[in-house]
Structure 1
Amino acid sequence: MATALLAVGVAVPAAEASAPAPASAVVVTSKLPKCRVADDLTRYRKLKHWGVTLVDHTLRLPKKYAPKDLVPVSRAKVAGSGSVRKIIVKDLRAMAKAARKAGAAFAVRSAYRSYASQKATFASWQRRLGYAGALKASARAGHSEHQLGTTIDLRAAGSSTSSFSAFGKTKAGRWVAKHAWKYGFVMSYPEGETDKTCYKFEPWHFRYVGKGTAKAVRKSGLTLREYLWREHHQPKKKAKSSG
């Protein structure tokens, strides 16, 4: 979707409550929790933690989380619009160049979204569909990976925006799915993993976590949420940016 993630299988408060459960301390556990709508601040929420920050239906970023190093995606010599953090430009440029060489050029359809922008988007969906319905069409403010500034939604270069959901079936979509990890990007919501990611298959949604972490995620066989949850709940480990 152009402005939001597509949530499914999420436990919603009774009677379509108009707000999520009150914020509370994150409970440390080694077991991946079921998809649950809540409003807890994620443990690693500083800008320098961009590679290990976990954002999902339960964990969120602060309202004031806003990268200071945003630049136009055009800096990566890739078609499209929006802004991304400067730290991803080099690898995004390299990935775009390799994709073009393989005849699988892609464009960026959506990139950074502020807390306020996501709040307005969710409110719009809620007015149309109600709270439960909005959860299936949009991420709540603070709960979108796009607020990190390191996440991009892609489409095949030259295609219309209406072909967005079919990206995975295009040559560009297949190429990115296979090679993105080499450039530090991970598909956040892979096919057949809805019970673990809490979102339907989104072949267009990629988050930059750095080459080291992307390689580790691929090797682990875990989804990004599973991998970050495991890392997120290692109290003795010190969070640091990836690369």
Structure 2
Amino acid sequence: MAHPTQPETRRSRRERALASAPLPTRRELRARTQARAARSGRRHPPSVYLRRRLIVGGAAVLVVAGMVSGATGIASLVSGSDSAADGSAAVASGEAATGMPRATVLPAPAQTAVPLGADGTEAEAAPGGGALCDLPAFREALDSGSDADAIAAAGGAEAFRSAVASGGAPCIDLHAADRTWVVVNKQNALDPIDYWPEPQARAEGVERTSGGHMRADVAAALSQLVSAARDEGAGEIGVNSGFRSYDLQVATYRDYVGQLGQANADLTSARPGHSEHQTGLAVDVVACDDGCGTIEGFGGTPQSDWVAANAHRFGFIVRYGDGDTATTGYEYEPWHLRYIGPELAGAYASGGYRTLEDFFGMPPAPDYAD
């Protein structure tokens, strides 16, 4: 196994990119259908050879029917009926019979590949019916560096999320450390791996037990969250930890490994380059009614309950939920808030999502690649 602090290499990143398979081909879909049919006890669908024989046979029947219809029309003309209706029908049949018999062929149904969302259902198309990355307004907003403008140009947070989850927005890089939508986990390292967010600030009017710096926009949002919790009777909320640099995460992770062993350390502390705290978008909070407590004591408090129900109003989510270890790779941390912006956080909450991996249609990341 590689050194526990070894960052993701170009080779591992390339292997992960290759592992992100494109939409299945028709052959793969057909194989999956046959496999499902076998498991459920149904017979396999007819082979390609058999289907061709059936189509040819059906076309032959139609040709014979056309020849019979033409012969009937000729007989009607010869009969010389004086009825106007019969005469009209005879003329029409005779005209049809003057040419070569034609078989009616039904067009085959379209087989356009439909992108699927994370839940397996059909994903919404990008505005205007085209690929999101081909929309000039979206590309302009994305290139300008404004995350909020890019989300708006995509047609809103849900359209943005759906495009990413369906694989229809390759221009959106979930590795990019400076984006609010970055997903950093055990399978997804930061890019660049030694990223340092700027500008940074401390949340005004918020108590802290240590450090407390974070991205400036996150600090402003946290100040609003803490003020609202106070005004709505939930109590005081303070900051235990905000931004941690790559080098600090090296020391932090080594301490956990020394105390708990690597397997247990990996459940509670990220390896360097894989920590949300390095983005400046994550903050650990504590309850501060009669002095600030510890992060371990945050769960079950009025502040914790209020945060779980209301954090999305201010752009935050509880990143590592109870029972989600198999997806996130971390134990339940009700104190760990992650800022993704109010637009995406609103879509996250209204959609009932529990992890960013599910939100963006990414595979679970319970373990490191190495």
Q: CA deviation at 1:99?
A: 0.8
Percentage identity across paired residues of the two chains: 31
Quote how far apart the aligned CAs of 1:64 are. 2.4
Residue aligning to 2:189: 60
**Alpha-carbon deviation of 1:125?**
2.4
Matches within 5 A, 1:209-224: 209-224=340-355
Corresponding residue of 2:202? 72
Structure 1: gaps (5+ residues)? 1-12, 33-41, 233-243
Q: TM-score, normalised by structure 1?
A: 0.74
Rg: which structure is higher?
2
Of the candidates 8, 13, 28, which is equivalent to residue 24 of structure 1? 13
Determine the C-alpha separation between the residues in 2 that align with 1:106 and 1:131.
32
- Structure 1 distance, partners of 2:241, 2:350, is 28
Does structure 1 conserve the Cα–Cα contact (< 8 Å) formed by 2:184 and 2:276? yes
The residue number in structure 2 matching 1:239 is none
Partners of 1:68 and 1:24 lie apart in 2 by 25
Alignment TM-score, normalising by the size of structure 2: 0.50
- 1:102-121 matches, within 5 Å, as 102-103=232-233, 104-121=235-252
1:87 — aligned with what?
217
User: Which residues of 2 match residues 1-243 of structure 1 at below 5 A?
Assistant: 18-19=3-4, 23-25=12-14, 26=17, 27-29=19-21, 43-49=173-179, 51-61=180-190, 62-73=192-203, 76-80=204-208, 81=210, 82-103=212-233, 104-158=235-289, 163-230=294-361
* Higher RCO (CA < 8 A, seq sep 6+): 1
Q: Which segments of 5 or more consecutive residues in structure 2 lack a partner in the other structure?
A: 22-116, 120-171, 364-370
- 8 A contact 2:178–2:279 mirrored in 1: no
Cα deviation per residue 1:177-204 (whole Å; 9 max; x = unaligned)? 1110011100001112222222221110
How many angstroms does 1:159 deviate by?
5.3
Equivalent-residue separation in structure 1 for 2:287 and 2:321 (angstroms): 18
Higher helix share: 2
Identify if the C-alpha distance between structure 1 residues 129 and 95 changes in structure 2 by more than 3 Å, giving closer, same or farther.
closer
Amino acid at match of 1:174: D
Counterpart contact for 1:18–1:131, Cα < 8 Å = no
Deviation of the 1:142 alpha carbon: 1.0
Q: Say whether the 8 Å CA contact 2:315–2:343 is kept in structure 1.
A: yes
Distance 1:129 1:167 in 2: 22
Q: CA deviation at 1:228?
A: 4.8
> Displacement of 1:174 after TM fit?
0.9
Deviation digits for residues 198-236 of structure 1 (CA, Å, limit 9, x no counterpart): 22211101111110000111122222322454279xxxx
The answer to whether the 8 Å contact 1:188/1:205 transfers is: yes
* Local SS of the residue matching 1:77: coil
Are the aligned partners of 1:53 and 1:228 in contact in 2 as well (CA < 8 Å)?
Answer: no
- Corresponding residue for 2:76? none
Cα-Cα RMSD:
2.7
Distance 1:130 1:114 in 2: 22
What secondary structure is seen at the aligned counterpart in 2 of 1:169? coil
Name the amino acid aligned to 1:167.
Answer: F
Aligned to 2:129: none
C-alpha displacement of 1:85: 0.6
Change (3 A) 1:66 1:163: closer
The change in CA–CA distance for 1:118 and 1:102 in structure 2 (over 3 A counts) is: same
Rounded Cα–Cα distance in structure 1 between residues aligned with 2:324 and 2:270? 18
Aligned residues: 205
The residue number in structure 2 matching 1:236 is: none
CA contact (8 A) 1:70 1:83 kept: yes
